[in-house]
């Protein structure tokens, strides 16, 4: 639950500070906060899948996010913490798809003109 909350609050910050007045905030020479709507999955794959894709990705995220803690209930503490990260990340992006129809990404690493795909905290979980 903590991971979902942190992800949600970070995305609210991004909407208010990056998306409303579209802007990128340069934090270091290799990190910026750049607004990106991601209608696909990892690295923007399947971003042309439309409404059908949004529904499928939402149900997959909800399914994994809710079932992982059940399977992890008899694991050791460290494994359960890891399962909580994964579950929180899946649910965080599923919530985005339910509310916005796509995922809010804004963390942008780059170096020497090469950009890693933009992501969010749910992705890191």
Q: Catalytic positions, please?
A: 105, 123
Q: Which of 19, 17, 9, 3 is nearest to 102 (CA)?
A: 19
Which candidate, 6, 7, 5, 9, places its Cα nearest to that of 17?
9
The C-alpha atoms of residue 14 and residue 69 are separated, in whole angstroms, by: 28
Q: Which single residue is written with the structure tokens 């796509």?
A: 102
DSSP 84-125: HHHHHHHHHHHHHHHHHSSEEEEEEEEETTEEPPPB-HHHH-
């Amino acid at each position: 639950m903590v991971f979902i909350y942190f992800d949600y609050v970070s995305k609210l910050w991004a909407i208010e500070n990056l998306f409303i007045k579209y802007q990128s905030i340069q934090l270091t020479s290799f990190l910026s906060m750049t607004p990106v709507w991601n209608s696909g999955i990892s690295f923007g794959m399947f971003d042309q899948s439309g409404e059908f894709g949004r529904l499928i990705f939402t149900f997959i995220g909800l399914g994994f996010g809710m079932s992982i803690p059940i399977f992890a209930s008899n694991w050791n503490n460290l494994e359960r913490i890891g399962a909580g990260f994964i579950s929180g990340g899946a649910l965080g992006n599923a919530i985005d798809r339910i509310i916005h129809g796509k995922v809010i990404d804004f963390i942008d690493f780059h170096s020497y003109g090469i950009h890693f795909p933009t992501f969010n905290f749910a992705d890191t979980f």
